[in-house]
Structure 1
């Protein structure tokens, strides 16, 4: 009788231990899956944001050049409206960055890249436009450099 009781107790302890280890393993796997999913989401969001800012930068340069060449022309107006569309796309991408990024410094760098790009069309003269364009590129590069380690 004692042997049977010991066998039943051993079996129960084995079942409990197995259940506990499996539950821990399942929790660990779920946590790893969530972490990887968030990493993939950040990669997609950060790269989409960088692409949207590059498109906006290009649009702002085009807007400036067309307005400088022929102010008020049809091409200048089309370029201005195109820059509005690119600004909207960049702002939407910025909102996604703000949603998936939990690092305040990276969010500030993303906002700075947007702000630097946003002000380009106000440049007075080619030298200032070139300086603003370079500042916008540098701000975007700072964002990418800061965000990259978090997704590797």
Structure 2
């Protein structure tokens, strides 16, 4: 009888230990899967934001050139409206960055990249436009440099 009791207790302890180890392993797997999913989402979001800001900068340059060369023309107006569409796309991408980014500094760098790009069309001359365009490139590069370690 004692032997049977010891066997039952041993079996129950084995089942309990197995259950505990399996639940810990499942928990770790779930945490790792969540972290990988978030990393992939960040890569996608940061890439989309960078692309949207590049497109917006290009649109702002085009808007400036058309406004200077042909003020009030149909092409200048279409370029202005195209820059508005690109601004909307860039702002939407910025919102996604703000949702998935945990680092306040990185979020601020994304906002800075957007704002610098947003002000490009106000340049008063070619030199200032070129300077603002370069500042927008540099601001985006700072964002990417800050965001990259979080997705590696």
* Fold conserved between structures, TM > 0.5: yes
Matched, 1:6 2:16: no
C-alpha deviation, 1:78, in angstroms: 0.3
Deviations 1:49-96 (A, max 9, x none): 000000000000000000000111110000000000000000000000
Whole-angstrom CA distance in 2 between matches of 1:124 and 1:24: 63
TM-score normalised by the chain length of structure 1:
1.00
TM-score normalised by the chain length of structure 2:
1.00
C-alpha deviation, 1:99, in angstroms: 0.3
C-alpha deviation, 1:27, in angstroms: 0.3
Whole-angstrom CA distance in 2 between matches of 1:24 and 1:133: 52
Matched, 1:70 2:76: no
Matched, 1:89 2:89: yes
What SS class does the counterpart of residue 48 from structure 1 fall into? helix
The runs of 5 or more residues in structure 1 that have no matched partner are: none
Deviations 1:103-149 (A, max 9, x none): 10000000000000000000000000000000000000000000001
4+ residue segments displaced more than 2 Å: none
Matched, 1:33 2:33: yes
- Residue correspondence of structure 1 range 41-80 to structure 2 within 5 A: 41-80=41-80
| Number of the residue aligned with 1:139 | 139
The runs of 5 or more residues in structure 2 that have no matched partner are: none
| Number of the residue aligned with 1:128 | 128
